[in-house]
Structure 1
Amino acid sequence: MIQSTRDNKKRKVGGTAMVTIKDVAKRVNVSPSTVSRVIANSSRISEKTKERVRRAMDELGYHPNLNARSLSNKATQTIGVIMPITAQYSFQNPFFPEVIRGISMKAYQDNYGLYLSTGQKEEEIFEEVKQMVYGGRVDGILLLYSSINDKIMPFLQEKNFPFVLIGRPHNIDENDITFVNNDNVKKTKTLTEYLLLLGHKKIGFISGSLDYVVTIDNLEGYKTALNNANISIREEYIVLEENYQKEIMETGQDAVIELMSLEERPTALVVTDDIMTFGVLSMLGEMGIRVPEDLSIVSSNNVMISELSSPPMTTADINIYDLGYKGVEYLINKIKEPELPEKKLIVPYKLIKRQSCKKI
């Protein structure tokens, strides 16, 4: 990273000369460029040298002028974070605060700020992304979702702008994009197979819109498990919510009303989100249907509410924090070294068995 001359010259505040990079370099007997690379957290510098330089910075009271350095190399030290169009409800779902926690931690460690999208419609979000790119507001973009009619990824590819996806790309060769994801097909297949092993054959499925790739993958995992067990797929057992304006807990409540109104009810449910499952449990309680005595349920995400619900949910822990942390790590690598090859990382999941399932 090019160091600003404003950092190299003695600056004065209230008549007192301020510490410069040269002072730090002299203290630890390294070059000023080494100090600059430590400030940028360059992988070219050993951890031992970084520790020595940072200790000297603390002892001397040196504070790098990040704004000046950003101006010198046209960097903003800021990452754009693009939320789904359901953003107005996103922070009601603990998934997003947890993934943002992982994003924030890695961004903080590498001296990056965050610029969160606020658009409520697809076109608004797309316009925001264009403003980020054309206005030079961010150095790279992290996408927190993937939809089948997405305009953002093709635009970013066309502009050769650094970005990383948390999720799986649709209609784009996976070798042409860097992304961090869970194997949602395998995860939901595992959840469905767990119910099958407990003796259930009438298994319902509740999820969000098929406009999102994660829903497509979850549904595939559910169907694969049933097909492998030679159990016919009953379309009336599959409930998908297409209304973006509906709160996620309401989705679960409405879905369970539909399923429990069937003449032949499911004996178990696969629900693809813990908050949605909480809505399911709430409505079942109103109906007098007991979980797991009358109906078994498996869920996904393992947010805090899954352990605190009544009964505690059997769910898949998808390591939400790691999705955000690794997404930023890969993005910063792309920003610093644009010629790096594209990568993909599949973050593992784990089945957490609690009290929402019963053998029949």
Structure 2
Amino acid sequence: MVTIRDIAKRAGVSVSTASRALNNHPKISQKTKDKIKALADEMGYRPNYNAKNLTNGVSNAIGVVFPPGEMSLATNPFYVDILMGINRELRPRNGVLSVAIANTVAELTANVSALITQGLIRYFVLLYSKKNDPIVKLLREQKVDYVVIGDPNSEDENFVNNNNRLAGQKAGEYMLHKFNAKRTLFVESDPEQGYERQRRLGFQEAMATAKVPTEVLKVTDQGQLQLDDAVAQFLMTRQTIEGIVTTDDTLGVMIYQLLWRQLDRDIPLISFNRNRPNDLLMGSSVRFVELYPQSMGAAAVRVLLDPEKRSEIIPFTIER
């Protein structure tokens, strides 16, 4: 492995001069910088980013914070795709991922605190956005940089998002124009998550404009059998519903399977996010609002590390 000492010997300069040249020190002439960098490239030098950053008192890792809840969140395809996008953008920057995930807010706060104090991590991506979030409070107190994926909760908060309200509106318009639905249902799970609320509001605006009756069903956490039975009972009393929009594809699969297996009904359904294996579980009357989570993950890194960037909006599409 080529070291700075090898480059310094080849260039006929001291090790400290070679190191400063590679790090763009202002006291080193541009001619010397160019010479040292050219030699480094020629000799195949690769800097030890971990050693460099630890010397500076920071890590080259980015902390990724999952919303507090069951550990199964980590296997949600949407989050997995975001992580893939983050990793894709970090790879050429020689950065790595460090994950914070816990069942409770208190455990998650302790986890993030340890990443800051013990892991020396100074950059974080939050895979969610909630008002009065204790994690955000901690990050601000520790003066570390972060970006949220979702709606910002203050004017100075960096974020990456889709235009969820517009996406909800377009999903509603698609349902009306493509399937000619005369009565609709919107299914959500956690309206405290800003993106769910915005999608619902956009959908409701489309229904109100078209004067089409609509309802909202909030699916709460409970045992799967209890949940299936409760939702099935609700749908059995809504025989006039002609179109359903769900706030994510996990709900979409559940609703579609209930309609097909228990109620023997085929109702047009639009689901936010597209986990492609779910295509095999759903019929021809299903559409997806594609949110491109990998692009969101990559954008989060750009917003986090580029001082000129404050936000990115990732476009969506509606497709089969």
Aligning the two structures, in what range does the TM-score lie when normalised by the shorter sequence?
0.7 to 0.9
What letter is aligned with 2:220?
A: E
Give the alignment partner of residue 122 of structure 1, picking from 99, 105, 109.
105
Q: How many Å apart are 1:116 and its aligned residue?
A: 0.3
2:43 & 2:223 partners in 1: Cα distance? 51
- What secondary structure is seen at the aligned counterpart in 1 of 2:283? coil
Give the alignment partner of residue 161 of structure 2, picking from 171, 177, 181.
181
1:56 and 2:42 are equivalent in the alignment: yes
C-alpha distance 69-232 of structure 1, shift in aligned 2 (>3 A): same
Q: How many Å apart are 1:341 and its aligned residue?
A: 5.7
Deviations 1:141-189 (A, max 9, x none): 110001234122233234321111111123x22xx01100001111011
Give the alignment partner of residue 205 of structure 1, picking from 178, 183, 186.
186
1:322 and 2:290 are equivalent in the alignment: no
Deviations 1:233-286 (A, max 9, x none): 4xxx3111232x667x996x4564143221544111001111221122222221
1:109 and 2:92 are equivalent in the alignment: yes
- What secondary structure is seen at the aligned counterpart in 1 of 2:241? coil
C-alpha distance 22-189 of structure 1, shift in aligned 2 (>3 A): farther
Give the alignment partner of residue 190 of structure 1, picking from 156, 166, 170.
170
Which position in structure 1 is the counterpart of 2:81?
A: 98
What letter is aligned with 2:199?
A: N
1:24 & 1:177 partners in 2: Cα distance? 46
- Whether contact under 8 Å (2:172, 2:203) holds in the other structure is yes
Which position in structure 1 is the counterpart of 2:56?
A: 73
- Whether contact under 8 Å (2:236, 2:263) holds in the other structure is no
Q: How many Å apart are 1:128 and its aligned residue?
A: 1.7
- What secondary structure is seen at the aligned counterpart in 2 of 1:269? strand
Which position in structure 2 is the counterpart of 1:45?
A: none
1:300 and 2:272 are equivalent in the alignment: yes
Unaligned runs of 5+ in 2: 25-33
- Whether contact under 8 Å (1:202, 1:265) holds in the other structure is yes
* Identity across matched positions, percent: 23
TM-score normalised to structure 1 length = 0.75
Which position in structure 1 is the counterpart of 2:204?
A: 223
Give the alignment partner of residue 312 of structure 2, picking from 341, 345, 350.
345
Q: How many Å apart are 1:319 and its aligned residue?
A: 1.1
1:217 & 1:80 partners in 2: Cα distance? 27
Deviations 1:190-211 (A, max 9, x none): 1111111132121111111122
1:23 & 1:228 partners in 2: Cα distance? 73
C-alpha distance 193-258 of structure 1, shift in aligned 2 (>3 A): farther
1:269 & 1:255 partners in 2: Cα distance? 17
C-alpha distance 154-258 of structure 1, shift in aligned 2 (>3 A): farther
1:153 & 1:140 partners in 2: Cα distance? 12
- Whether contact under 8 Å (1:25, 1:31) holds in the other structure is no
C-alpha distance 96-54 of structure 1, shift in aligned 2 (>3 A): farther
- What secondary structure is seen at the aligned counterpart in 1 of 2:205? helix
TM-score normalised to structure 2 length = 0.84
1:272 and 2:244 are equivalent in the alignment: no
2:272 & 2:12 partners in 1: Cα distance? 51
Q: How many Å apart are 1:323 and its aligned residue?
A: 0.3
- Whether contact under 8 Å (2:7, 2:18) holds in the other structure is no
C-alpha distance 164-135 of structure 1, shift in aligned 2 (>3 A): same
- Whether contact under 8 Å (1:80, 1:116) holds in the other structure is yes
Unaligned runs of 5+ in 1: 1-6, 11-18, 38-47, 334-339, 355-360
- What secondary structure is seen at the aligned counterpart in 2 of 1:298? strand
Query: What is the number of equivalent residue pairs in this alignment?
Result: 304
1:240 and 2:223 are equivalent in the alignment: no
- Whether contact under 8 Å (2:69, 2:103) holds in the other structure is yes
Instruction: Compute the RMSD of aligned alpha carbons.
Output: 3.1
Q: How many Å apart are 1:109 and its aligned residue?
A: 1.6
- Whether contact under 8 Å (1:250, 1:279) holds in the other structure is no
- What secondary structure is seen at the aligned counterpart in 2 of 1:91? helix
2:189 & 2:71 partners in 1: Cα distance? 16
Name whichever of 317-326 and 277-286 sits farther off.
277-286
What letter is aligned with 1:203?
A: T
Which position in structure 2 is the counterpart of 1:260?
A: 235
